[in-house]
């Protein structure tokens, strides 16, 4: 993105947000530490929500040291007015713990007299420090020029194409302080924060969409999910495969069918052979029996005939004997 194009978009955004929102000035009675704790509550939250959470912290605990030693869960109960009370409680507790470990106290008002670069280096080393909290402290407590950018503000800058996706991933918003003057930085940061919270809470609201469109936001059409496409492709690929598999199965069935019939035929043949063998054996046996019977019958008749011949001879001899007697 060119510097000129980015600068034009930032100027358009500045014009639109200051037109639709009223800047909320920071309290002048707060010291540096109070600005820091308040910024921990304000990040990604409305001003009214941050005010309530900050006052409850001051009323519920005796001093900053008691807040430091309190658990995150207990701190979160005191910050229930915020959209994400536990995240805010972690920021507050970690910053106080880091300050106590580095200074053994919570007095950091001397940073207003320090060189701003040194103050920034010390603040950046705090464990719970975020870019939003750091910019808020620099802008409202140290008198520097730094526009607070939270994750919700980054989404607005990304929608307006002021930052790229790579820059948004790194939390960078180049060109803001260079394009917006220091005298207008506090008001611009406050109005931009209000738009960002409204967009984060209800991006589909008519008023919010109209303001974003006026500020140069481009509505991006949701991309189709690649998972569904791949699933469709898989389904379409599976259908032809299934169709191809069906003929193969049919062919295998046809090929298998002749084998079964062949087996049956061979079985039939075997049974036929067996039956034929049995019949032949039966025929042979019966033939043998018949021949045996016939032979025995023939023998019997022969015996009978043989027995009859001597009788006949005897009879003839008797007749001859009777004929001889009359002489």
The C-alpha atoms of residue 239 and residue 246 are separated, in whole angstroms, by: 11
User: What superfamily in CATH does domain 3-214 come from?
Assistant: Hypothetical protein; domain 2 (1.10.340.30)
51, pLDDT greater than 80: yes
Give the max Cα distance, the chain: 202
- Choose the weakest-confidence range: 43-52, 216-225, 297-306: 297-306
Q: What is the pLDDT of residue 289?
A: 40
Q: pLDDT at residue 277 above 50? A: no
Residue 133: phi, psi to the nearest 5?
-60, -40
Q: CA separation (Å) from 265 to 269, 273, 274, 275? A: 6, 12, 14, 15
pLDDT confidence tier of residue 297, bands split at 50, 70 and 90? very low
Does the pLDDT of residue 276 top 50, yes or no? Answer: no
As a whole number, mean pLDDT of residues 90-94 equals: 97
What is the overall mean pLDDT for the chain? 78
pLDDT at site 268? 37
For the segment 13-17, the average pLDDT, to the nearest whole number, is 97
Question: In the prediction, which pLDDT does 45 show?
Answer: 97
* Per-residue tokens: 157: 């800058």
Q: Look-up: residue for tokens 């002489």?
A: 327
**Residue 165 near residue 158, CB atoms below 8 Å:** yes
pLDDT at residue number 325: 43
* % of the chain exceeding 90 in pLDDT: 65
Give the torsion sign (CA, 149, 154, 157, 161). Answer: positive
Instruction: List the domain boundaries for the chain.
Output: 3-214, 262-327
Give yes or no for residue 319 having a pLDDT over 80: no
Over residues 168-194, the mean pLDDT reads 95
Q: How far apart are CA 219 and CA 155, in angstroms?
A: 12
Confidence of residue 322 (pLDDT cuts 50, 70, 90): very low
What is the predicted pLDDT for the residue at 229? 55
Task: Write down the pLDDT at residue 221.
Answer: 65
Average pLDDT over every residue of 5-34: 95
Average pLDDT over residues 23-37: 95
At 219 the pLDDT is 77
Statement: residue 245 has pLDDT above 90 = no
Give 3's pLDDT tier (boundaries 50, 70, 90): low
């Amino acid at each position: 993105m060119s510097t000129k194009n980015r600068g034009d978009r930032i100027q358009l955004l500045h014009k639109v947000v200051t037109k639709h929102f009223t800047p909320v000035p920071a309290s002048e009675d707060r010291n540096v530490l109070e600005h820091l704790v308040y910024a921990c509550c304000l990040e990604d939250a409305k001003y009214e929500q941050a005010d309530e959470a900050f006052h409850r912290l001051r009323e519920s605990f005796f001093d900053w040291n008691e807040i430091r030693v309190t658990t995150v869960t207990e701190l979160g109960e005191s910050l229930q007015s915020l959209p994400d009370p536990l995240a805010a409680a972690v920021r507050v507790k970690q910053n106080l713990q880091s300050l106590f470990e580095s200074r053994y106290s919570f007095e950091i008002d001397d940073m207003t007299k320090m060189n701003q670069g040194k103050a920034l280096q010390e603040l950046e080393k705090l464990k719970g420090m975020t870019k939003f909290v750091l910019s808020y402290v620099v802008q409202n407590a140290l008198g520097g020029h730094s526009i607070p950018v939270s994750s919700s503000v980054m989404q607005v800058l990304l929608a307006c194409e002021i930052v790229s996706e790579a820059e948004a991933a790194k939390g960078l918003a180049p060109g803001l302080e260079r394009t917006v003057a220091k005298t207008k930085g506090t008001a611009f940061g406050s109005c931009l924060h209000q738009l960002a919270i409204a967009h984060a809470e209800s991006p589909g609201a008519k008023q919010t969409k109209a303001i974003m469109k006026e500020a140069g936001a481009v509505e991006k059409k949701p991309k189709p999910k690649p998972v569904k496409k791949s699933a469709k492709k898989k389904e379409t690929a599976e259908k032809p495969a299934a169709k191809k598999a069906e003929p193969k199965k049919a062919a295998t069935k046809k090929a298998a069918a002749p084998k079964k019939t062949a087996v049956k035929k061979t079985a039939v043949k075997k049974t036929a052979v067996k039956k034929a063998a049995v019949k032949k054996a039966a025929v042979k046996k019966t033939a043998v029996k018949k021949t045996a019977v016939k032979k025995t019958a023939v023998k019997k008749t022969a015996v009978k005939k043989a027995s009859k011949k001597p009788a006949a001879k005897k009879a003839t001899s008797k007749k001859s004997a009777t004929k001889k007697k009359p002489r």
